Structure 1
Amino acid sequence: MAAAVARQLRTSVAPMVDVTDPCFLRLLRLISPFGNHQLWTEMVHANAFSRGQLHQNPAKLAQHIPLRELQDFAPHVVVQIGASAPDDAHAAVGRLAELGVRHVNLNCGCPSRNVQMGSFGAVLMKSPGLAAEIIGAMRDAARGSTCEVSVKCRIGIDDDESSGFLRRFIAAVADQQCSDAARPARIVLHARRAWLSGLSPKQNRKVPELNHQRVHEMVREFPHVSFVVNGGIDSVDAVRYHLARADGVMLGRKIREDPWFLAQLDQHVYGAPQHQIPSAAGVLAQYIQFADQMHSQYGTRYTILARPLYALFSGRRARAMRTHLGAAISRATAVPGADGSPTYAVPFGILVQDALRSAELEFRMRVGMLEPDAGADIGPREPETKQPAVAC
């Protein structure tokens, strides 16, 4: 890596629709309380701020922006926006900066049909001039604040995965970002091309072939740009490998499927002592406390609060918890509040504990166990702490 930019070996959790909501991000913070990782929100359309005035509705805002994390964790939170017009992007960044957001990212990589119809996401890579204008507007809105601006994109679009195509796009958006020497351009590169037709967003995350070497090539060609590599990275060894060749690593599906992987990185990449890694029981207890606060303050629905918990369990744990907690929530009596949000008679934490007991009882009856046994524990899985094997 070139020495022109102060390098920070950082890991990030990718923005994932219906996954990285404020509740899931809080769960990740409880699993990894050391501040080693950037946590990205789901994409929010800039129109929600410029025209919908989302920032003026705390209950709705709290469904998209981790307001509680901004109180003491703002430098580690990234809000991703989608925008097709500079004015909308300017308004969104201005509003987010006022809220205390320290980093806003422009989505130039989502290939979904709905996003394409809105003329943002991956289609912006076909119009590097427009993307540069949007970035310029975002940068202008962030001027005078501590808010950073960045871009997340693919390495190519449809049939064009050439170095020249990617180079032109990076040059256009990096020039806009580099107007302030104190804030070097920052680009997250998903090491797959995006197919704008013929593949679903889910298929676009798996079918296009990974090309990490193209990302490494851009790192060498643009020494004044800070690059984060994204796509298919799912082991400690892989994280180490890419951190030695780029400025950061972004993890997506790996964290969705196993959030405890952050604890492995804390130990084996950042050197956190094993005795400081939170316990599963402690994480669950703190999350329940957070969930009760979210419901009390913002009227967050129990179905939304429950969703991150399923990632804490594996195998039959996840299936049992999903079944019993889902049933308990559906039976819970809710009364509409003044703003229309539900108010439940039973605290969320009570429903979780009841679901745990029911799932454990179901398991014991299924295998014919008459006495408690360690194998019947259906509590959350403990973090993996052993040293990972070294890759060949």
Structure 2
Amino acid sequence: MNGKIFSVAPMMDWTDRHCRAFHRTLTRRALLYTEMVTAQAILHGDRPRLLGFDPVEQPVALQLGGSDPAMLAKAARIGEDYGYDEINLNVGCPSDRVQSGRFGACLMLEPQLVAESMAAMIAAVSVPVTLKCRIGVDDQDPETSLFTLVDACAAAGVTTVAVHARKAWLQGLSPKENRDVPPLDYPLVYRLKRERPTLTVIINGGIADLDQTEAHLEHVDGVMLGRAAYHDPGLLGEVDRRLFGEGGDVDPATAVEAYRPYLAARLAEGISLASMTRHMLGLFAGQPGARAWRRVLTTGSVKAGAGLEVLDLALDQLAQAATRIEAAA
């Protein structure tokens, strides 16, 4: 399975630089993604804030939003200059804000524009340029819309596509509902790989754990895990061994210790503890004492001047709660 790809999906408000640095303590092999950043923001905004990242996060991909080929090409070049290992175009986000800006899932309706955008970015950079899309939007026939978009982009030079295996409903469903309500169609993504065998196809959407990941990898080249990886990050500690045959598992306590130097460095820069530890709340999910861990981190990290002592207290409360639970069993 060494030729396979595993990644943590780009997720707005979640996969920021602190989240990625934390996830990297659990897996060396996973490809990590930024939150979506619009090309316009990169061209006109605070680039160090939008694009800055710690080298410990690599390999890391920059996900762009936009529909102007020239702007996307410039933004891609800036991203490459910042050191990103891949540039990805978002053609899957269904939010109203994204639609009003003419990017995200609504671009499923404009496959030629997407292809022109991909061609412009490919010409602008030397790192891989990839696509993340849905299988269709609204009343589109997915068997037509997915293949039309992918074929147009392949003709423009795209070799890798990540497919969220459900439609996006642009009218009548919230972004949250769009993650759950439209039915998943994994067989259609499998078919895309069968009928376009030279294309690297990564599947995304509703995948809950590494057992399901391994099952999907029998049909496609890669798996992208989103909410499951965020809410139960401990599963990332098994990725390198189970999917790539490398090393042993990384247990949650080891990940906490590995993250500690990063936390200390950012605290010294004035970054709040809560903005970093919020990504760790699910680390001990399903284990004795997990509730105590979450409680201490949630309440302690938001206090003025909170530092690493909160982490130590959370670990201590976790251990004490686990001891009590085991003694009562």
> Are residue 161 (structure 1) and residue 141 (structure 2) matched?
yes
Question: Residues 46, 286 of structure 1: CA spacing in aligned structure 2 closer, same or farther, 3 A cutoff?
Answer: same
Q: CA deviation at 1:21?
A: 1.4
Listed one character per residue, the Cα deviations across residues 245-280 of structure 1 (whole Å, up to 9, x for unaligned) are 11111111211121121233333332234xx32332
* Aligned counterparts of 1:47 and 1:242: Cα–Cα separation in 2: 36
Q: Highest CA radius of gyration, 1 or 2? A: 1
Listed one character per residue, the Cα deviations across residues 130-171 of structure 1 (whole Å, up to 9, x for unaligned) are 1112112211210xx3x1100000011112133122221111
> Contact 2:65/2:104 (CA < 8 Å) preserved in 1?
yes
Q: 1:45 aligns with which of 38, 47, 53?
A: 38
Unaligned runs of 5+ in 2: none
The residue number in structure 2 matching 1:235 is: 209
> Are residue 67 (structure 1) and residue 54 (structure 2) matched?
yes
What is the one-letter code of the residue matched to 1:22? R
Q: CA deviation at 1:235?
A: 3.4
> Contact 2:87/2:130 (CA < 8 Å) preserved in 1?
yes
The residue number in structure 2 matching 1:375 is: 326
Give identity over the alignment, percent.
35
Q: 2:194 aligns with which of 188, 201, 220?
A: 220
Structure 1 SS opposite 2:41: helix
Q: 2:257 aligns with which of 285, 292, 309?
A: 285
* Aligned counterparts of 2:280 and 2:298: Cα–Cα separation in 1: 11
> Contact 2:142/2:167 (CA < 8 Å) preserved in 1?
no
Structure 1 SS opposite 2:271: coil
The residue number in structure 2 matching 1:15 is: 10
Q: 1:296 aligns with which of 243, 254, 268?
A: 268
Q: Structure 1-normalised TM-score?
A: 0.76
Q: How many residues align?
A: 325
> Are residue 25 (structure 1) and residue 29 (structure 2) matched?
no
Q: 2:161 aligns with which of 183, 187, 195?
A: 187
> Contact 1:65/1:79 (CA < 8 Å) preserved in 2?
no
The residue number in structure 2 matching 1:337 is: none
> Contact 1:41/1:65 (CA < 8 Å) preserved in 2?
no
* Aligned counterparts of 1:352 and 1:235: Cα–Cα separation in 2: 27
Question: Residues 117, 9 of structure 1: CA spacing in aligned structure 2 closer, same or farther, 3 A cutoff?
Answer: same
What is the one-letter code of the residue matched to 2:246? A
Listed one character per residue, the Cα deviations across residues 313-335 of structure 1 (whole Å, up to 9, x for unaligned) are 32684543443333333432xxx
Q: 2:238 aligns with which of 261, 264, 269?
A: 264
Q: CA deviation at 1:212?
A: 0.7
What is the one-letter code of the residue matched to 1:88? M
* Aligned counterparts of 1:97 and 1:81: Cα–Cα separation in 2: 12
Q: CA deviation at 1:360?
A: 6.7
> Are residue 36 (structure 1) and residue 22 (structure 2) matched?
no
What is the one-letter code of the residue matched to 1:68? P
5 Å-filtered alignment, 1:1-392, equals 8-32=3-27, 35-52=28-45, 54-55=46-47, 57=48, 60-61=49-50, 65-69=52-56, 73=58, 76-142=59-125, 145=126, 147-178=127-158, 185-273=159-247, 276-297=248-269, 299-314=270-285, 317-332=289-304, 344=305, 348-357=307-316, 373=324, 375=326
What is the one-letter code of the residue matched to 1:349? L
* Aligned counterparts of 2:3 and 2:178: Cα–Cα separation in 1: 29
* Aligned counterparts of 2:37 and 2:160: Cα–Cα separation in 1: 20
* Aligned counterparts of 1:288 and 1:271: Cα–Cα separation in 2: 27
Listed one character per residue, the Cα deviations across residues 68-107 of structure 1 (whole Å, up to 9, x for unaligned) are 336xx3xx21111111211221121111111111201000
What is the one-letter code of the residue matched to 1:45? T
* Aligned counterparts of 2:295 and 2:5: Cα–Cα separation in 1: 37
* Aligned counterparts of 1:224 and 1:161: Cα–Cα separation in 2: 24
> Contact 1:39/1:78 (CA < 8 Å) preserved in 2?
yes
What is the one-letter code of the residue matched to 1:227? V
> Contact 1:161/1:193 (CA < 8 Å) preserved in 2?
no
* Aligned counterparts of 1:328 and 1:190: Cα–Cα separation in 2: 37
